[in-house]
Each structure stands twice: as C-alpha cells, then as structure tokens.
Chain A
C-alpha cells in the first residue's frame, strides 16, 4: 500500500494507466456544491439504480467528480468516452439517458447545450462557448477525477511534479523555478510567491510552518472552494513541494467552516495520501517529513488575513497584528510561517511539471499564468472561469459569461469583493491582471467578479459592501471599527433620501482616513467600493442627495409602486399576495396601492401577469403621469 520510492510511484501510475479502459463508458457527474444544490445527488442515485436495474452496473462506471465550473446549468453530466455534455439533468430524464445515450449512443438533443448566439446545439463539453475561451489548467482535471480518489489523481499525472522535485532538484532550485516562473499570490495581494518562500527558507529558526489559506470570505467568491472540493490532491501536492523547498515539516489547512464538503474532502485526501506514504515521514522514501492538519474557521472574514489567521490557528481571537515582523520571519508561535492561497498552491505542481517557459508563456507581462474567477451576478453563464491573466473583462463577461440576461445593459463589474472596486462598462476592455485593475482604482483580489446591470444601484452596492466590512471588522483598530460605521451611517442616510451635500466630502475624507490609518488589509481596502463608485458613478450619489432620486430605482425610500389603471385587469393576484395588505380594488376593476401601507417589497410587480404588466416601479419624482 505504502509507496516507498519514486519508482514504486511510477509503477503504480503505469498500472493505473494500463488498467484504464479508454473505451469503457463512464458517466461523470459534477459533484461541486453548486450542482449538489441543484440536485446532483439524486441524479447520481438515479443513474446507479438505473444501471443496476438493467444489469450493466459493472460495464458502465459512474463517477462523481469535482466541479465543472458551469454552475448556472447544473446538474451537469459528461458521458465518456464520447464527451457528450448534458446539462440541467433531472432525475426523470435518467432512464432515457441510460437507455438511449449510454447503451445505444443516441444523443438526446433536449439535454444538449444551445449556443445562444448561433442557436446551434453543442455536443462536446469543450465546444461549449463558456469553455472555449478558457484555459482550464487548474480546474481542468476536476471533471476527470473523483476528488478523494488518489489513484484517479495519479492516473492523470498527479505527483509527477513531486517525484521530479524529490528526485532531481534541490530545495533552492525549486524556489528558483517558482521565482523565475513569476508565480504571484492568488489570494489578492499578488506578492511574488518565490520571494515569500525564499524569505521563509532563509529564516534561521525552526520549525517552519506552511499554511493553505482556504478562508475565502469574499461574498460571491468560490474559486478556492471548487479547487479544494474538486481536486484536493493538487493543492496537497503543491504544499508538499513547498515543504521541501522551505524546510517545513508541518502544514495547516485553514478552511472556513462554511465549506463542509471542502473540509471533508481535504481531510479524506490527506488520509489517503498518508496511507500511500505521500504524507508523513520519509515521503516516497526521501528524507522529507511533512504532514498536515485541517483547521476549520469559525465564521470570521477577517481570519482570511494572514496575521489574524495565524492568531486563529494558535487558538486566539482572530485579530491581525502589525507587520513587521512578517510571518516568514516570525509567524505561528513565533516561528517562520509561509501562507499561500489555495490557488497559489495548486499552481505549483503545474509549474514544476511543465517548466518555467511554459508558465511564462501564459498571461500578461506582469502577471503570469491563469487565474480562476467566479463569475456571478447579472450574468447568463454563472460559474467558474479560468483564463490567462490579461484576458479582457469584455471577453470574460460577454464571450465566456454570455452577457447580461433579459436584454439589460451592463453597468459595472465589481472585482475583488468588499476589498475591490467596480469597473464601469466604459472600461470593459481592461485587461484583467494585478496591475491593469489597480490603474483603474480597483483590485483583482481573489477573483470574485460580480456583474451588475442597469437595475443595480451603485450607492446601494457600496452600502452593501461597507455593511459587510463593518460587521466583519475585528474591532481592534479605530479607523476600521469606527470609520466604517460612520461611513455606513452616511450611506444609509443617502439611500434613505436623507443625504446632504456635505456627505460626499465626509465620505471621501473618511475613505482616506480608513485607507491610510487601518492596521490590516481589511480596513485598508474597505473604502475601495465607495471610492470607485464615487469615481465612476458620482452622478448617482448626487441624484440621491440633491434630487432624492435613485436612478436604478432600487433604494426603497426613493421609489414607490403604482398600478397603471389602463393596464390593470383587476385579477386580484397582487392584492392577495401583498404582505402589507396595501392593495385595494374590486374584482375586474383597476386596483390601487395605498402608499402609506406599502413596504416596497415588489411582490406585486412580480405577481402581476406578464400580459398585463400593470405594476410600475417609479422614482419619487414621478407622478402617475410618468409613463
């Protein structure tokens, strides 16, 4: 069971490859949390039952794999070896799929993805436009393996990089390769990884600790989750290589508790690796001792900050501390500590395997390699996207993302979550890398991309992010704890129609204080959503303040609902659904809304039959006559 040498690893790989029957049918189901939420487990069960019923369960494999990334359209299924791609599969469709496609090779066209620009059906996963412009180096294997099946991973080339490192390279050489490749931290700061490793290696004290930062707190970001759920061995391999390079014998996975599947998978993957001698003492017969512990977070966004994370790992309250000293000199329990993001670790085996030149050939001048983004919000193809650095935002949003649904116009894209900023539609051609977005005042951050259309109020959006940062602030330093609260109060006043002229100047002053005075990255970047929305959408702020008008008609205090008497058929649907009992009217006669009772929930507009569309969302300057 235990692999005691590189030769034994290679022998195992060969035997796995030999055992693989390329022609054996395999039903791969995406088992990421997104598809899980769409009902993948039941679909999987249905497949297994159906195959058993037909007595072919030994001839057809069912594989529950890592996240495919095409989250909008789950549950997603790929049928190998043909590579046929079915999306939004329901349990009722399973018998048909088995009988027709699996056993007879007949394609069910209804289940195929339709390219919205050509209206053509797509057979193969790789031809789906969503995937066509991606370069799925990190996520690519997700659909081909069972996340905690170590043999699947080995069969796909897993641990080749580790074998190369242990067999042919000295630790300094490994660091050199990572430096030359130009890998930069994927957690948001973009610090050169090789340099970080080198500082940790050079630190004279022992023991040295490695940490995988899987706290991923940005709302809307789930890249790390999918990598850790879908291919935990890739991250593990990166860490073992890092342990060798730095001289560490103990690593920690700090996973946010809200990712139970990721926690489960990494614990299981580590266990399997240990059984195989890929973790623990004398890894693959070498002198390297390294093992990992999995630590769950406890619901604090601030613990994604490295010094707060280290405090949390030590069992203390997750509060950051100033640097210097830097973690690479003095970290957990005062020892040299190297912390990297999940995606950064996952990049390492690829760089070792494919070489510096390969990596340098991907990406932009300053930012090499690919980046995984979570594309969410007002977008047709919600999901995980992996592209070379420097790809334009336009390509991501329109070519890959499919554009804005319901015919709405793109307004802005929020990059980097609550620490980032928004890029307005006018700058949609910006290349997405570390420097490109910084020039526009935003930040790539960890890769969350929230798409907004004309129905998004930018002031409301800024308020949302500031309320997030305010409630997640650890409370230690004055600018963040009190400053964000004062900012939030002002934004609340503005969105409630109580804004005054002075507020914008006060906001700008507060932003500077918080940015320049805060102790850690949470506080230092908390003003970004406000600063960028002020920069690009100042007119919206001014409308809220001077005209008491919300241009996007979102802020409840500045809008009201009215029923168009000419369109209302008196069907009473809205009256019945209104939670405030604010609608009155006789059957078959036009209804009206009592503005004193209305709570602006918008249910009436949603309920009103499309043919009538009698409910109007109006700003408070418009009277009944505004149509």
Chain B
C-alpha cells in the first residue's frame, strides 16, 4: 500500500510516483512530462514530499516503492512551485498572464489577433491550449517580480509545414525527446548551455537539411506556441471534432480531426490510436486540410452532351450512367476500385457485381497491392499481412525492401525504432533517400532484390528440416546468379525472429519472386508472422469483401469502364466511361459521366488497415457542391440498374448488413490464423509486366496526387529527391 496525501492506495510495481498520483486522481502540475515520453525531470514543478527521501524529489522520475508516504501539496511545495513558475515566466512573454484586466479581456476579446511576434497571450495562436497558462492559474500567480528577459530569437518560418518561435520555448525538452527517443530521428536537440540553452538543429541548418521528417510529433507535444502548424494556426477554434482513421496509407492511424462550418480545419494524432499510438506522419498530420480543401474538387455531376461535359442533377447523371452500362454485356464491363474506398462502398460494389451485373470484372487500382494480395493468398492462405504491426516491434531483424518510409507508412518507423533500441537489427535493401540512416544497420543499395534473397536462402537452405515443398524450393534457387552481400544477409537473419516489410518499388523487378523469397526466408527463420507488404488504405477490406478481385494485368481489356479513380488504366478504345472521383483529372477528357464522391473528411464508414484492423471513418465536413457519398452513389446506381435491396436510409444500415453477411465481422483487429509452414519455389525470371520507378512514386489519392495540391509537401519531396 502507498499513501498519497493521507489516503491509502494499492501499490503497483514498475510505476513512477507521478503515474500513481495521477491514477489516484490527484493533480500535480507538470510541463516537461508527457505520458508517451520517458521522464525528464527538468521543469521541477511536479516536486513532492516523500518520507525518508531527502529534499523535494520530482514525482515523474521517482520510482514508486511499496509503503511510500507522499504529500503532493504543502506550503513549502507550493511556494517553490510558484517561484519556479515565476522564473519560467521571466523568460516567456507574460504580460497578459499578470494583467489586471485579464478576466475581462479574456471574456470579450475572443479573436486572437494575427501577429508576427507574440508578446502576450492575446497575440498567441495557442492561447486556449497553452499549458503554461493552465499552471499559472492553478498557482494563482498575480505578479512577476523578476527582471523580464526576451531572447529575441529570429522567428523560423522557412521550413515547410510548421513555424518555430523559440522566444516562447520553455525548454521542457518534449520535442527533443519525442524526435530522439520515439521517432529515432533526433533532428533537433538542446544546443549551447547556461542562459544560451535553446532547442534547434545542428549548426543552425534548416529542418529540411537536418533530416526532419515533418511528422509533426514535436508540434503535437509542445505545451506552448513555440511550435505551430502554419496552415491552421490562425484558423480560430473548431466547432466540432471527431475521431477518424487516416486513409493516406495502410497503417490506419487514428486521428482527431477538427472542423468549422463544414470544412476540415486541422488533424491531430490520436494518443490512444491502436495502430499509431499517438504518432502520425507528415501526410496525416499536415496534409488533410490543404489537400481536401484544395481547388479542383469535382462539385457537380456531369454528363457529356454533344461532346461537352455538362452539369446535371444527380438523378439524371445516375440514369445516364445506368443506361450507358446497360448497353454492354457485363463480361465487357470493368470496375476499377480505388484502395481509398470504404468497406461499405466496396461491399455495395460487390453486391452490384454479384446481383446486378454478374460477369463484370473488378480490379484494384493499385498494382503493388494487387500483386501482393494475390501472391500472399498463394503463400499463406489468405490475402494480406501474415501478422499484425506488433510483429515489427517484436522482431529481432527487420528487413525493408523496395519501400520509401519517407513517403508512406512513415509511422512504422516508431515501431522500428523501439525494436532497434532493444537491439534489433535493421536491414535496408534498395535505395534509401534519407531519414532512415540512423536506424539502418545494413544497407544493400544495388538492384537485384530477388538475387539477394535467393542467395541468402541458399545459405540457410540446410534449415529446411523437411518442410513441405523443400525440394522444389531448393531446386529453384539454383537458377539464381551469385550476389554479393547475400551471405552476410543470411548470417544476420539466421535464427532470428524476422519481419520483412515490402514496398511498392519491388514492382520494378520480379515482385512475385521477391515476395515468395521473402516468405521462404521467414519460414527458414521460424517467423511466420513476419510477412508485411506495405498495403494501401483499404486494400485489405476490399479483398475481404471481394476475394475474386483479379490481377487484371493478365485479364485483358474491357469495353465499358466504371472507375473510382481518375488515374485508372482505361485503354483508348474504351467505349463508355463512368468516372466517380473527388478531384478533376485527365480522365475528364475520356469520361462520359462524372459522379462527384467524397474524400476522407467527408466520408463515413469503415476501412480495414493493412494489419487487419477494422476502424471507423467519421465525417467532419461536407463535400463541395452536390457531391454525394461514394457508398450512396453505388447504391443508387445499383437501383438505377434495376437492383433490389439497395434502398438504404442510413449508412449504418449498410454497415450492419455488411458485418452480418460478409467476411468482416465488426470493428477491431481481425485475428489471422497462423499460416502453414511451407516453402515455395522462387522464379528467377518472370513474364508479368514490371512497372518502372516513375509509376511508383506518385502519391495518389484516387485520381489526384497529394503532392500537386499541397505546396509544402512538394517542397519536401522535391528536397528529398522523391519528385523532380
């Protein structure tokens, strides 16, 4: 048992005093502490009195021991806290905090004035969220007797995405700690010492130069307005906020989005997110409002009349689409499914095909994902990853092949860093642009990923131990040429729990061989849960609902196309094209009917992340013009085509029906069975068309490229060499 302020509580080992006190519901002021970061002990505000411990130790750093008697408040403690806060305020613009008119001013002066230099709360963009203000109130500070100092650091506004005003920085160190300890990047650190101590990059270089990934983790943890998101800092208070799931990639980060008057305003990482655990990346954190609010959104349904796309009411557009599709045999119709579509939309599409247009082929508009789902189905018995994202954190060796974690799935870096800190080794196969350098232990930059893996397999071959398929497997390896580094790779993974992340860039060269060889490597290291193809937002969900999605690179061409992304592969001889998208694109030149759908902040429904986690997407904004929710478009189109049972009143009806009748049972992590131990022969040559690098690097969201719409992202990618 422990005692806090005279009350007894049970003792739990492995906690700090601060954690115990907070769990007991007792308040202690903290500034440098953060639940996701290792304790620091710098602000000295959380001091407490503990029996038999000298002085006033900080609660955040003191380990809890059984029998401890803790006092969190006393005259001495409050006095010292107040003195410490006064010292902090002597170097932080404080005029509003101790102004005699602050109550009235706060009540009636609601709009913060945009200001360059912040000299008081009423000029500060973070007035409502500032943690310094909260503690000043708790300590009832009325006046500051110390000499006031203003460092007069230059405002830093030249890097993309976020501004830095270190005149407001209270040196709590949270930003430094999150970048170093959680992300493993360390782009910023404490510089100098004494009064000149400050936070910054090495040698004052820009954040672009310093390896910053612009993930925004530092901005999220900053207690003051020292770090602020440039695009949204002056947008005033949101009038609603909700939890949703980002769909820029397949990790499925849980985000909190805020909106004002039907427009999405800002996005923050959800601290309790299961997949992302409080972290996010530059896309989810900074690009949601600028992208979805960008110009070029499709606003009205369009029908081509006399060669010109003309705005029409939705009913007319839907019937034009239905009439057009009815002219074709379903076997000549192809539906291109965007990996961004929700489960409900995909579910309705599958019903459309099964019940209304049997014979229609469906393809996923994501070549890497299509390949990965087909091959994984063959290898492990079901499409998708063979384990969840914790396989990365638990691994002893993590191999990354053909991926660029700067572009997407960046949040996985956090798990990689955690594994690395525990001693895991990170192997990078393929070009590495930046950011990963600190984490990577072994780098094999040259081409020939299949040769690399095959060479390693040859060395490990004696570990087959009569596994099923061993003979064919061994035989297939003989066709591969020798590759330097393969032996070293074998020695790195031998006997170690391995996890292999496969990215889009393997499409450049025999992707099926790469995946098969990767699986064989996992088999030979007893790591069945380690196959992690880096899938798109809802690839997993779409495949759960449509297991017969074909790899249409093999299939051939159709005559009529119903596409849900403007960059779908529609051949020139296509006779009828229905485009359902959210942004204008080149496809407008080909489309006969255009149906404006919804993007992430306007979507409602569920998606399944790459690890099989079913999560909700909740809207905060209204799509422009007369756009309609994608699922509703599909339902109404199905009705127009003569389908029955597509008359839904709410989305929830679709969701419940889907949960009841399809392979997706409900929200939460779908448990995957352990794959059978089997080896597969690896093909040294391949007939399937390979995709060039240039096709891989575009960051598509349906028919638009995020890079085209968000200037700062273009700046960042250009700097990193991702785009020209």
Contacts and interface: CB of A to CB of B under 8 A. Distances in A.
Contact of A479 (B44, B147, B196): B44
B61 A300 contact: no
B68 interface: no
Interface of B: 40-44, 47, 55-58, 61-63, 80, 83-84, 87-88, 90-91, 145-147, 149, 170-171, 173, 189-190, 192-197
Main secondary structure of the interface of A (DSSP, over half): helix
Given A319-B190, A478-B43, A513-B80, A485 B195 contact: yes
A317 interface: yes
Interface string A446-488: 0000000000000000000000001111111111011101100
Interface stretch (A182-190, A320-328, A404-412, A418-426): A320-328
Interface string A500-532: 000000100100110011110000000000000
Contact of A322 (B62, B190, B195): B62
B47 A517 contact: yes
The 6 closest A-B pairs by CB, nearest first: A475-B197, A322-B61, A513-B83, A322-B41, A482-B87, A471-B194
Given A475-B171, A483-B87, 16 more contacts: A319-B190, A322-B57, A322-B61, A472-B194, A473-B195, A475-B192, A476-B40, A477-B44, A478-B43, A478-B44, A478-B84, A478-B171, A479-B44, A517-B83, A517-B84, A519-B42
19 contacts: A302-B193, A317-B190, A321-B41, A322-B41, A322-B62, A325-B63, A471-B195, A472-B194, A473-B197, A474-B193, A474-B197, A478-B44, A478-B171, A479-B87, A482-B88, A486-B87, A486-B146, A517-B47, A517-B84
The CB with the most chain B CB atoms within 10 A, among A300, A477, A517, A518, is that of: A517
Contacts of A594: none
B88 A324 contact: no
Nearest to A467: B194
A192 B47 CA distance: 28
A96 interface: no
Contacts of B55: 516
Nearest to B63: A324
A483 B194 CA distance: 11
A52 B145 CA distance: 73
A547 interface: no
The CB with the most chain A CB atoms within 10 A, among B58, B87, B146, B147, is that of: B87
A472 B173 CA distance: 19
A571 B612 CA distance: 96
Contacts of B170: 478
A489 interface: yes
A485 B83 CA distance: 14
Contact of A477 (B43, B62, B145, B195): B43
Contacts of A321: 41, 61
A319 B145 CA distance: 29
Nearest to A517: B44
Contacts of B147: 486, 489-490
A506 B145 CA distance: 9
Contacts of A319: 190
B193 A473 contact: yes
Contacts of B195: 470-471, 473, 475, 481-482, 485
Looking at chain A, what size class is its interface with the partner chain?
20 to 34
A519 B193 CA distance: 15
Contacts of B171: 475-476, 478, 481
Contacts of B194: 470-473, 475, 481, 485
A204 B63 CA distance: 18
A322 B61 CA distance: 7
A232 B63 CA distance: 39
B445 to A, nearest CB: 27
Contacts of A472: 193-194
A485 B42 contact: no
Given A485-B195, A517-B47, A477 B56 contact: no
B87 A513 contact: yes
Interface string A297-327: 0001010000000000000010101101100
Given A324-B63, A513-B83, A485 B44 contact: no
A472 B194 CA distance: 6
A478 B88 contact: yes
The CB with the most chain A CB atoms within 10 A, among B43, B56, B146, B194, is that of: B194
Nearest to A317: B190
B91 to A, nearest CB: 6
Nearest to B195: A485
Interface string A318-351: 0101101100000000000000000000000000
B190 A517 contact: no
B193 A478 contact: no
A482 B90 contact: yes
B197 to A, nearest CB: 3
Contacts of B84: 478-479, 513, 517
B137 to A, nearest CB: 18
A476 B58 CA distance: 14
B193 to A, nearest CB: 5
Contacts of A518: 44
Given A481-B197, A513-B83, A517-B56, A486 B90 contact: yes
Contacts of B80: 513, 516-517
A520 B383 CA distance: 56
Interface string A152-175: 000000000000000000000000
Nearest to B197: A475
Contacts of B83: 479, 509, 512-513, 517
A519 B84 CA distance: 12
Contacts of B146: 486, 506
Contacts of B41: 321-322, 477, 519
A476 to B, nearest CB: 5
B88 A519 contact: no
Contact of A300 (B42, B44, B193): B193
B603 to A, nearest CB: 45
